[in-house]
Structure 1
């Protein structure tokens, strides 16, 4: 049995999105549903643009497959081959889901879990270059 190891480091947002799109990062079913409001997403994005720390994300890397996983913020995540390890989000789900739902161009809503899915309009956010702020889409 391999001894557990802890590795730390920063990852760029585009790399995190790519890892989610490939099925490398998943949400275990025991995590709560996505609960953030749009103002919390805007605050997170404001921290990102100002290069402030946004906290850590704790991932459990394993080849063991959990029976149930959850989508990410209402979007389908593809399965990857059984022999590849999966990184399950143990802490940081709201942040990683907000970043993915806001910036990914490969999102597809998951109707199978509609009761858990947030209103996807909260992710309709734009960057205003004049005011240098993220703003919600005008309705």
Structure 2
């Protein structure tokens, strides 16, 4: 039996992924969204707009499909209650941004009134800002300011992970 889950709140989705009670049927493709689509989704989140229709399948006592966890979600071994049939790209992007666990990018909320830095590219008209990251040969993640609250604040940037429920 399919259920339209469009009225769930972001914190409900977040909790389901965190608890491991919602998983993907194995036939679902892996994450595929680029940074522009992810930033657009997060703009929708901070604007408190609907994220779009999501479809889940209630599992009941036994999973009908072999399943897997969303990318980077904890493997809890909890009883699966639902399979995510539609909305995987949105839910995965939201999960990863709120946990700041993309390897090559970090997402921020940009507030122009706090921007006091002239050394970066313009961020006008961007509420969600994505910064590319890279590692040095020694394993250090760059740019360094991305992990320093004072460096972020000077640029008017606040880690999107601060929006994480709970």
Fold conserved between structures, TM > 0.5: yes
**Relative contact order, CA 8 A, sep 6+: which one is greater?**
1
Q: Aligned pair count? A: 120
Q: Indicate the structure (1 or 2) with the bigger Cα radius of gyration.
A: 2
Do the aligned residues in 2 keep the contact of 1:61 with 1:86 (CA within 8 Å)? Answer: yes
**CA-to-partner distance for each residue in 1:69-88, whole Å, 9 max, x for gaps?**
2231344432214xxx5210
TM-score normalised over the length of structure 1: 0.71
**CA-to-partner distance for each residue in 1:16-35, whole Å, 9 max, x for gaps?**
11111111111111101111
**CA-to-partner distance for each residue in 1:96-134, whole Å, 9 max, x for gaps?**
1111111147x7xxxxxxxxxxx6334x21111226611
Q: Aligned pair 1:121/2:121, yes or no?
A: no
User: Quick one: which of 75, 87, 94 aligns to 1:92?
Assistant: 87
* Distance in 1 (alpha carbons) for counterparts of 2:74 and 2:2: 30
Q: Aligned pair 1:31/2:31, yes or no?
A: no
3-state SS of paired residue (2:92):
helix
Q: Aligned pair 1:47/2:51, yes or no?
A: no
3-state SS of paired residue (1:10):
coil
Which blocks of at least 5 consecutive residues in structure 2 are unaligned? 113-123, 134-166
* Distance in 2 (alpha carbons) for counterparts of 1:67 and 1:7: 19
TM-score normalised over the length of structure 2: 0.61
Which blocks of at least 5 consecutive residues in structure 1 are unaligned? 108-118
Question: RMSD of the alignment, in Å?
Answer: 2.5
Runs (4 or more) in structure 1 with deviation over 3 Å come to 4-9, 74-77
Do the aligned residues in 1 keep the contact of 2:31 with 2:71 (CA within 8 Å)? Answer: yes
Structure 1 residues 30 and 7: CA distance shift in structure 2, 3 A:
closer
* Residue in structure 2 matched with residue 59 of structure 1 by the alignment: 56
Do the aligned residues in 2 keep the contact of 1:20 with 1:77 (CA within 8 Å)? Answer: no
